[in-house]
Structure 1
Amino acid sequence: MIKSISKILSFLLGSCVAIGAFMAYFMRSVDTQKGIVYDGLGRVLTEPPLWASFLITSENSWAGLGWHLLDVIWFFGGLFIAFKLYDWSLESKAK
């Protein structure tokens, strides 16, 4: 039973990470009256500073350094936990 739950949780967590990444990086909306661009998570996007263009992002817009770091932690941390949960379910199945 625990194995099945951990597999389901790993799939749900991986799905949430993928949906969040898709919304953050591929969805954009524009407020034409104010000229503000938002990402899929509702964060205001601005032009990245020159140092960030060279070191961090190749995109022409970003939500800021704090949001970028949170996105990286959310994405890679979430995938790590999802894969570990799935791996744990397979290990306990082999025993």
Structure 2
Amino acid sequence: MLLNFIHDSLRRLGFSIPGDLGIIGFDNTEVAHLLDLTTIDYPVVQQAENAFSILQNRRNNTNNELNTLLYKLVERKSTLTQYLYWLLCYWCCLT
């Protein structure tokens, strides 16, 4: 929902998306699809399972293996292609 607000606010201020600014979401929701926003799709269920496993590992003093999370860039019309690789690399470094 926040991305929807940002997208609408930038357009009302006269910014062109993706001409002036690019926007990337990180959850690939229906809103992102409806607004044609580029987003990063990630496995929410596996991420939650990992969080639970981390808590169990700490509680039981174990080191059970975590799921490998596979992220996928879903390119739509809110970014320019030439910047997508850089943005994805930057985002992955932050997580």
> How would you bin the TM-score normalised by the shorter chain?
0.3 to 0.5
Larger radius of gyration: 1
Q: Structure 2 length as normaliser, TM-score?
A: 0.33
TM-score by length of 1: 0.33
Which of the pair is proportionally richer in helix? 1
Which structure is richer in relative contact order (CA contacts within 8 A, separation 6 or more)?
1
